[in-house]
Structure 1
């Protein structure tokens, strides 16, 4: 909502309507859809994103979204929250740097 208040165009996408309720009430544009679905693709057709921030609690999902949209947006325009410290240290659960978006923030965010 901070970006919206600063007049930065944003669109929040989530599958759960409850997650979007506060943003909608504040006038932030939202789209209720699974970001990798055809429904989201159609919903974004009129307003294609310029940048992406994948900010779920699931590092692997964030990486998947970034990997999927990087060819369209450009790798320099896809970001994801920094993985938690345990993911950075655990070789089996961490995600290859090549498959993630650009990391935003630190593991505590």
Structure 2
């Protein structure tokens, strides 16, 4: 399994209308994905047997999918101090609110 993504130069619109340019010297850039759904399983021999571990392993537990109070505070700090562009707030380009914009980012 793999996940592919790409990055493009959006200096002319995604960085406060071009006021802040992308610093390409800071590459490689890191991506994260929201609402990516996959069910992990524990490998068992012989292949292709794969036993579902839903609710049995750490990655299926509540703590792995929700932010702690401390993490929520960190997230809010990042939004206030580091986020340059938020398409959920770009009503000029997107007058209709995207579905994901109405969801809580804290889980």
Shorter-chain TM-score category? under 0.3
Which has a greater percent of helix? 1
TM score, norm. by length of structure 1: 0.23
Which has a greater percent of strand? 1
TM score, norm. by length of structure 2: 0.24
Larger radius of gyration: 2
